[in-house]
Amino acid sequence: VPRRPTLRDVAERAGVHPGTASRALDPALPGRVTEVTARRVREAARELGYAPDPIARTLRTRRSGLIGVLIPDLMNPVLPPIVRGIEETLWDAGRAVVLADTDNDAARESTLLAELQARRCEGLIVATATRTSEAVRALAGGDVPAVLVTRDVDDADLPLVAGDDAAGVMAAVDHLTGLGHDRIAYLTGPLELSTTIVRLQAYLEAMSSSGAEPLVRHGEAFTAAAGRRLTAELLDDRDDVTAILAGNDLMALGVYEALAEAGLRCPADVSVVGHNDMPFVARLQPPLTTVAIPQREIGGAAARALLRRLDGGAADADLRRLLPTRLVVRGSTMRRP
Amino acid sequence: VPRRPTLRDVAERAGVHPGTASRALDPALPGRVTEVTARRVREAARELGYAPDPIARTLRTRRSGLIGVLIPDLMNPVLPPIVRGIEETLWDAGRAVVLADTDNDAARESTLLAELQARRCEGLIVATATRTSEAVRALAGGDVPAVLVTRDVDDADLPLVAGDDAAGVMAAVDHLTGLGHDRIAYLTGPLELSTTIVRLQAYLEAMSSSGAEPLVRHGEAFTAAAGRRLTAELLDDRDDVTAILAGNDLMALGVYEALAEAGLRCPADVSVVGHNDMPFVARLQPPLTTVAIPQREIGGAAARALLRRLDGGAADADLRRLLPTRLVVRGSTMRRP
DNA sequence: TTGAAAGCGCTAACAA
DNA sequence: TTGTTAGCGCTTTCAA
């Protein structure tokens, strides 16, 4: 059986000692070896099709080249682009991505975090944080660098990369007030998520600066079902609402359903705005006006932030990196009737 | 610095030799060690918070516990559920998933396949195959077990797990003929994908057995743009088409666009059927009738097939496992006008 | 500049 | 049943 070649084979063929071959092949150390031997070794390596064994290297150097990526649920449409951005950036940097999905389960979160570390991941990218996750907070003190994506945890000095949701929500409120709306309701996601809080806060600020009275309903989850229930309740209580800002696009889907059920038209009777610009919302009827988030870039930026840290970068240089969002105006908003 | 404990530390504390400690901690070998020493060792391990180093273990045993998963593009809506199914099954079996995305690039495919193997992945799940991918075909002879998902490669004895697309397409044609249609066009995806061929073949068979004349257009990609272009061309040539079967849902989106552009209504003038039942197609206008594929189950089944092989299962027991698909009838199909 | 030797932490073959 | 020994493939001191 033609075993894959080791450094020893290369050294033998080049007529040098394995140690020398190792030095010759290490690009970080030019001048540690004669140019002529370096050439001989490289040649032998090429002829043999030699590739260093990452496992053996890791055992020696303690660097595995593995980055753990923890996500809440890959089937949530916002995540694939983020994971994609992370993954392409890390592969390009010679790292491999170990993906783990918590299924939105806190217990699973801490299990998987431990598992990822046990498997010697050099760094962690975490998209599952709730404001109170202890397991995530503990990462701040730990010895494996971690970066949070999208979701932040309270009171921990962990770097975060996310979209500038606040700016997006403010733009959405401005858009609606610009269209003459002032009875604008906001439907939140679960309060244990930082994204919910950030968006809600922005809504409240924008409303107060426009002098309009805020109107908030809290949802138990970022789902269409929650959006639908909240909207139905809202319409029962108040018949003067002319615009609804949904915590995210999934909830906006539920808003559409509830409006249709109540015999209200969108946007003729009620304008609707979502958040995230997930795939295909432009193809809904009506096409959804929403806050677009640069998901893939967020993933890439998170990966780069982690790489910087792994290369000994300053730990405090780039806490809280917010990437620009933008309001995409489509057919679900119009001038107040 | 309180270095994490090694097996040596555990052995020392338990007063035994490292080799003995190793045996005591190995769950696969009961009876290789006295119950009393086993207990002592386990106790010591617990007290020290010992966790075996997976890297060292891998170097020794050649088994990394890592499974490489190669996908064409995570942002293609069919993939997240598949990856999810793979990932949850493998974690439950104590394996970790290394995810790599080729971005539909053949060169990247072979690079990443090599990289995954260099990183000592014990097994591979490949969703990127084209009918001719050499790099994938080479896996058949290789020493790391591989399972294909959804996309097959020609002339290679690699196990495949996929949805039963043929049955789905036949059901779709039957559904349409049952509604009185006989001018049913089929829009294919790229011919280098096995899924395209399987679906097309099924369409041709179903048409011939119903005695209707087949009407096929070939698309260069499974995209909305392709679906749109093909439909526009089709409508230019033939004004008698009353139903269109799209290669997948993305193409069906394009069909919707082209019909609207041509001033034709769906389903009143033309019925449309998609394939995949990707998220949110039920919310299109009209809701899309489509062939649903059990994506998550396919992922799970692929993972289990690989695990079986890793445990020395027969290599030929389960080549070509097809999971049942089903036609989901929604609003885009109706009785022929 | 190169060779020699040790060792990362673990497991498996062999010996006692 | 347990201890001993060797070695997975690599890097990195230390000497020459």
Decide if B92 touches A, using CB distance below 8 A: no
Q: Which of B240, B236, B98 is nearest to B183 (CA)?
A: B240
What mean pLDDT comes out for the span A199-219?
Answer: 97
pLDDT of residue A318: 64
| Residue whose CA is minimally distant from C11 C1' | B60
pLDDT of residue B335: 97
Q: What is the pLDDT of residues B223-271, one digit of tens each?
A: 999 999 999 999 999 889 999 999 999 999 999 999 999 999 999 999 9
Model confidence band, residue B147 (pLDDT cutoffs 50, 70, 90): very high
**B2 or B291, greater pLDDT:** B291
What mean pLDDT comes out for the span B59-87?
Answer: 94
Residue numbers in B near A81 (CB within 8 A): 74-75
CB pairs under 8 A between A and B: 111
pLDDT of residue B216: 98
* Separation in Å: D7 C1' and B56 CA: 12
Q: What is the pLDDT of residues A65-79, one digit of tens each?
A: 899 999 999 999 999
pLDDT of residue A142: 84
Q: What is the pLDDT of residues A252-271, one digit of tens each?
A: 999 999 999 999 999 999 99
pLDDT of residue A223: 96
Decide if A283 touches B, using CB distance below 8 A: yes
Q: Is A3 exposed, middle or buried (0-12, 13-18, 19+ CB in 10 A)?
A: exposed
Asked whether the predicted pLDDT for residue A4 surpasses 90, the reply is no
pLDDT of residue B30: 60
Decide if B286 touches A, using CB distance below 8 A: no
Decide if B56 touches A, using CB distance below 8 A: yes
Looking at chain B, which residue has its C-alpha nearest residue A51? Answer: B118
8 Å CB contact of A75 and B84: yes
8 Å CB contact of A64 and B83: no
Decide if A272 touches B, using CB distance below 8 A: no
Decide if B260 touches A, using CB distance below 8 A: no
Does at least one atom of strand C sit less than 7 Å from the CB of A19?
Answer: yes
Asked whether the predicted pLDDT for residue B296 surpasses 90, the reply is yes
Which amino acid, residue A22?
A: S
Whole-angstrom distance, CA of residue B114 vs CA of residue B107 = 11
Check: CB of residue A266 under 8 Å from CB of residue A235: no
What mean pLDDT comes out for the span A47-55?
Answer: 88
Nearest to B59 among A55, A96, A285 (CB): A55
**A312 or B42, greater pLDDT:** B42
Residue numbers in A near B74 (CB within 8 A): 80-81, 83-84, 87
pLDDT of residue B106: 94
Q: Which of B316, B321, B265, B18 is nearest to B145 (CA)?
A: B316
DSSP string, A246-286: ESSHHHHHHHHHHHHHTT--TTTT-EEEEEE--TTGGGSSS
Check: CB of residue A266 under 8 Å from CB of residue A332: yes
Q: Which of B162, B159, B104, B160 is nearest to B133 (CA)?
A: B104
Nucleotide nearest to A23 in CA–C1' terms: D11
8 Å CB contact of A285 and B284: yes
Contacting residues for A162 by C-beta, under 8 A, at least 6 apart = A149, A150, A151, A152, A195, A298, A320, A321, A322, A323
Check: CB of residue A82 under 8 Å from CB of residue A294: no
Does at least one atom of strand D sit less than 7 Å from the CB of B31?
Answer: yes
Smallest CA–CA distance, residue B155 to chain A, in Å, is 25
Q: DSSP 3-state assignment of A184?
A: strand
Smallest CA–CA distance, residue A283 to chain B, in Å, is 7
Model confidence band, residue B314 (pLDDT cutoffs 50, 70, 90): low
Give the torsion sign (CA, A106, A108, A111, A115). negative
Contacting residues for B234 by C-beta, under 8 A, at least 6 apart = B185, B187, B215, B217, B241, B244
Smallest CA–CA distance, residue A197 to chain B, in Å, is 27
Radius of gyration of the CA atoms of chain B, in A: 26
Does at least one atom of strand C sit less than 7 Å from the CB of B53?
Answer: yes
Whole-angstrom distance, CA of residue B251 vs CA of residue B262 = 17
Residues 103-142 of A with CB under 8 A from B: 103, 112, 115-116, 118-120
Nearest to B51 among A55, A59, A118 (CB): A118
8 Å CB contact of B120 and A79: no
Smallest CA–CA distance, residue A160 to chain B, in Å, is 23
> With a threshold of 0.85, does the pTM exceed it?
yes
User: What b/e readout covers A290-315, taking b as 16+ CB neighbours within 10 angstroms?
Assistant: bbbbbbbbbbbbbbbbbbbbbeeeee
Strand D nucleotides, any atom under 7 Å from protein beta carbons: they are 1-13
Nearest to B55 among A58, A115, A284 (CB): A58
Whole-angstrom distance, CA of residue A16 vs CA of residue A122 = 33
Model confidence band, residue A316 (pLDDT cutoffs 50, 70, 90): low
pLDDT of residue B317: 53
8 Å CB contact of A55 and B55: yes
What mean pLDDT comes out for the span A175-185?
Answer: 97
pLDDT of residue B315: 61
Q: In sequence order, what E strands does chain A have?
A: 66-71, 96-101, 123-126, 146-149, 160-163, 184-188, 215-218, 243-246, 271-276, 289-292, 321-323, 326-328
pLDDT of residue B31: 61
* Separation in Å: D7 C1' and A43 CA: 28
Tokens 């922005």 belong to residue: A202
Whole-angstrom distance, CA of residue B204 vs CA of residue B184 = 11
Asked whether the predicted pLDDT for residue B128 surpasses 90, the reply is yes
Q: Which of B252, B249, B255 is nearest to B228 (CA)?
A: B255
pLDDT of residue A30: 60
Nearest to B80 among A51, A54, A74 (CB): A74
pLDDT of residue B29: 63
8 Å CB contact of B80 and A101: no
3-state helix/strand/coil string of B270-296: CEEEEEECCCCHHHCCCCCEEEECCHH
Whole-angstrom distance, CA of residue A75 vs CA of residue B99 = 15
Check: CB of residue A82 under 8 Å from CB of residue A295: yes
pLDDT of residue B318: 63
Q: List C-alpha distances in Å: B40 to B4, B25, B33.
A: 20, 11, 11
Model confidence band, residue B316 (pLDDT cutoffs 50, 70, 90): low
Helix axes A79-92, A295-310, angle to 10 degrees: 40
Nucleotide nearest to A21 in CA–C1' terms: C2
Q: DSSP 3-state assignment of A192?
A: coil
* Separation in Å: D4 C1' and B7 CA: 16
Asked whether the predicted pLDDT for residue B170 surpasses 70, the reply is yes
pLDDT of residue A163: 98
Decide if A55 touches B, using CB distance below 8 A: yes
